[in-house]
Amino acid sequence: MTTAARIVPVRNRAEDATQENQLALIARRFLRHRLATASLILILFVFVASLLAPVITVFPRDAIDISSANRPAPPGVVDSQGRVHILGIDQLGRDLFTRVLYAARVSLSIAFAVVLVSETFGALVGAVAGYYGGGIDMIISRIIEFMLTIPTLPILLIISAILIKSDTVLPLPGFVTKTLSAVMLAPEREVQKVVVLILILIVFGWMGAARLMRGMALSETKKDYVEALRSVGASDVRIIFRHIIPNGLAPILVNASLNLGGVIVLESALSFLGLGVQDPTPTWGNILALSQSYMSQHPWMPLVPGVPLVIVSIGFNFVGDGLRDALDPRLKR
3-state percent helix, strand, coil for the chain, nearest multiple of 5:
70, 5, 25
* 11: pLDDT strictly greater than 60: no
How many whole angstroms separate alpha carbon 109 and alpha carbon 62? 19
How many whole angstroms separate alpha carbon 25 and alpha carbon 60? 45
Quick one: pLDDT band at residue 167, thresholds 50, 70, 90?
low
Least Cα distance to 284 among 103, 111, 113, 106 occurs for: 103
Compute CA distances 247 → 128, 134, 327, whole Å: 14, 22, 12
Of 33-47, 65-79, 161-175, 216-230, the one with minimum mean pLDDT is 161-175
How many whole angstroms separate alpha carbon 221 and alpha carbon 241? 13
- Work out the angle at residue 270's Cα, subtended by the Cα atoms of residues 269 and 272, and round it to the nearest 5 degrees: 65
Mean pLDDT, range 275-300, rounded to an integer: 87
pLDDT for the residue numbered 265: 92
**Domains, the chain:** 102-317 (1.10.3720.10)
* 159: pLDDT strictly greater than 50: yes
Mean pLDDT, range 224-237, rounded to an integer: 89
For the chain, what percent of residues have pLDDT higher than 70? 89
* 72: pLDDT strictly greater than 80: yes
**Model confidence, pTM:** 0.86
- Amino acid letter for position 212: L
Task: Please state whether beta strands 77-78 and 84-85 pair in parallel, antiparallel, or not at all (unpaired).
Answer: antiparallel
Give residues with Cβ within 8 angstroms of 155, minimum separation 6. 204
Query: What is the overall mean pLDDT for the chain?
Result: 85
pLDDT for the residue numbered 112: 94
Mean pLDDT, range 67-79, rounded to an integer: 81
How many whole angstroms separate alpha carbon 297 and alpha carbon 9? 71
* 57: pLDDT strictly greater than 50: yes
> What stretch of H or E contains 85?
strand 84-85
